Each structure stands twice: as C-alpha cells, then as structure tokens.
Amino acid sequence: MNRTAAAPAAIAILIIVLAAGCSHRAPLPGRPEYVTPLPATYPAPSTTDTMVTSGPSAPQNGVDGGQSATQAVSVWKQAAQPWLGTPYRIGGLSRDGIDCSGFTLTLHREVAQRTLARTSQEQWSRSVPVSPNQVRAGDLVFFNTTGKGVSHVGVFLADQEFVHASTSKGVIFSQLTDPYWSTRYLGARRPR
C-alpha cells in the first residue's frame, strides 16, 4: 500500500477505535438492565454490608471465596496502588497510558484472574446489575459522562470509594458521593 492510501486507512482505524472505546447508550429506566443511580445522599454501607452473602452465584466472601470484605478491599487497593498517576490514554493498556475500560480489565485480570471485555459498553452488557446495598469490592461502577450513555467505568472498593482511569488526572481514587460522579452514576454491575 502506498503512503497516500495508508494515511486515510490509519485515520479511519483510529476513529473506529476511539468511537468504540468508552461509549454506549445508557439503558432507560424501567428496562431490566437499568440500575437506579445511587444518590449523593445515599448512606455509605459498611464493609460488612458490601458483600452478597447468599444466592446461587454469590461467592462466599471477598474475591475468591476465602477473604473477608475488609481483606478483599485491601487486595483491590494494593493492586491499584502501582497504577496511581498512570496517565489516561485512549486504547492504552500499560503504565505508559491506560483508558478506563483497559484499567478495569487489567485490574480484574491481576486480582481476580478474570478476563473482562475490552470496552465499557461490553463490560456493561456482560455483567449483571447489583443493588446499592450489595455492592462489594471489585464490582464495576458505570457512569454517563458524555450524555450519550455508558462512557466511563471504574472498580468499586468500599464506603463509596472507587478507582478508575480519569481522563484528566489518570488513575485515581474517587468517591461516588462526589457531585460530579453522583450525578453521572448509572449503577454497579458484577462481571459474570
């Protein structure tokens, strides 16, 4: 392929990757996949309340069934620590730069040996809704930051804290009760 033909092809590929990365139409209220957003005034659950302790598909405790909720939170936080400050880069998957869905994918691979889908849209659609009183460390939290639906994802830790790859600050810890995040919150979901 000559250079004049290669440049438009490369640009087209870049546009497709950028468009698919972290965007998706949000589900509408009243549909089964919709999770009622957690209001900013919602009381923070204690770490003992952030686990599902019964049900056919619920792990017994923590990440792999052998940890308490406090231990699970610690494991997720420790795994996130080396990533703090990593700059945001669309399509990135390394400490040189990472995007939101790449970060959740990588953290889940490191902590839970679980393979997530690559985009926030796919992560949303391939996970199951979690009610606010059953959110636990490792669950995914989704946001509509563009006005067009699911456009951002992070990993819940405990007490309204989550970790994510922010477009402006890179990988950081944030609070669901922060006015910016609480008004854009779509809900928590658990990878299958």
Write out the catalytic residue numbers.
100, 152, 164
Bridge-partner residues for 97, per DSSP? 94
Q: What's the rounded Cα separation, in Å, for the pair 184 and 181? A: 5
SS3 content of the chain, % helix, strand, coil (to 5): 35, 20, 45
Q: Which residues contact 151 (CB under 8 A, 6 or more apart)?
A: 22, 23, 24, 120, 143, 144, 145
User: Is 171 within 8 Å of 183 (Cβ atoms)?
Assistant: no
Bridge-partner residues for 172, per DSSP? 164
Task: Give the CB-side neighbour count of residue 40, counting CA atoms within 13 A.
Answer: 8
